[in-house]
């Protein structure tokens, strides 16, 4: 059996590419391997951004491999444990302190949208993308956090429209409603994700991590809690090598070079 995803690191950017073209289904093996490897990646300070993509240019992911659900539940011991593992993995992506970028092209359905929803940046193909949570058409509901994260990304009105009607949207509409950050021709989508990853990786590591802690999940915080988090971030970044480098570079009228220790 081939690896469920292909993994590589280039210029401090780790790439996870679903290795099941053309549909790139999210298999039990994919989630198992991610759960094992993600803690190592997130603990590695030399990795400062992550890209989640799929092999080929047909589809990012048509979602979970539905045929594996009975096997997965049996292996996990219960439906709650099976889906709980998926929640843990996506929570690691969202809350691990490393910027995550997803590429949306072709089918991005069910779990193939729920994984990108856990990422901090989503880039979509300008043509050919089909993005949605179609579980309602199967008599079911999103199970990987889609109904929790989609409203936070696009608001209640659009989330209800997509989920209750099982409606899929293209990249242009996803960009219009704020679901994706950029539209890119599919041929250059992965290269653009790598370039964005490298840009994020060049930013001061501690400051990036601090801002993710402040901003991710802000929807459930009061303003006072968010302000307290910001004050903690200011304290954590005061006097760091990167903050001193940033000030020196400003005074010397040059571009700062951050993360020199890693």
Report residue 3: phi and psi, to 5°. -60, 140
27, 68 contact by CB (below 8 A): yes
Strand partners, 13: 10, 49
Q: Which two tokens stand for residue 53?
A: 């993509």
Does 187 participate in catalysis according to the annotation? Answer: no
Q: For residues 79-91, b (16+ Cβ closer than 10 Å) or e, as one string?
A: eeebbebbeebbe
Does 135 participate in catalysis according to the annotation? Answer: yes
H and E: helices and strands count for the chain: 11, 8
56, 22 contact by CB (below 8 A): yes
State the catalytic residue, choosing from 35, 55, 80, 135.
135
Distances (CA, A) of 241 to 49, 95, 97, 210, 258: 20, 24, 19, 15, 8
Q: Is the peptide bond before 117 cis (omega within 30 degrees of 0)?
A: no
Pairing state between β 121-125 and 107-109: unpaired
Q: How far apart are CA 41 and CA 47, in angstroms?
A: 7
Report residue 48: phi and psi, to 5°. -120, 5
103, 129 contact by CB (below 8 A): no
State the catalytic residue, choosing from 35, 114, 187, 224.
114
Active-site positions read 114, 135
């Amino acid at each position: 059996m081939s690896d469920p995803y292909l993994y590589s690191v280039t210029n401090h950017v780790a790439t996870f590419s679903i290795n099941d073209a053309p549909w790139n289904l999210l298999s039990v093996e994919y989630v198992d391997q991610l759960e094992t490897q993600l803690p190592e990646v997130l603990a590695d300070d030399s990795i400062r951004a992550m890209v989640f993509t799929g092999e080929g240019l047909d589809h990012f992911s048509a979602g979970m491999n539905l045929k594996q659900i009975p096997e997965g539940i049996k292996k996990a011991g219960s439906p709650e444990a099976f889906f709980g593992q998926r929640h843990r993995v996506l929570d690691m992506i969202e809350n691990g302190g490393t910027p995550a970028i997803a590429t949306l092209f072709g089918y991005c359905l069910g779990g193939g949208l729920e994984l990108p929803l856990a990422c901090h940046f989503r880039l979509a193909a300008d043509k050919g993308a089909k993005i949605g949570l179609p579980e309602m058409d199967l008599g079911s509901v999103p199970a990987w956090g889609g109904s929790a994260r989609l409203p936070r990304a696009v608001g209640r009105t659009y989330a209800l429209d997509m989920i209750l009607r099982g409606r899929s949207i293209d990249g242009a509409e996803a960009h219009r409603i704020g679901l994706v950050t950029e539209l890119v021709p599919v041929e250059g989508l992965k290269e653009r994700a790598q370039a964005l990853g490298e840009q994020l990786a060049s930013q001061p590591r501690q400051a990036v991590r601090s801002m993710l802690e402040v901003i991710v999940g802000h929807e459930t915080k009061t303003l006072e809690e968010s302000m307290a988090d910001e004050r903690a971030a200011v304290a954590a970044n005061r006097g760091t090598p990167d903050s001193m480098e940033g000030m020196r570079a400003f005074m010397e009228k040059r571009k700062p070079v951050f993360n020199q220790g890693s």
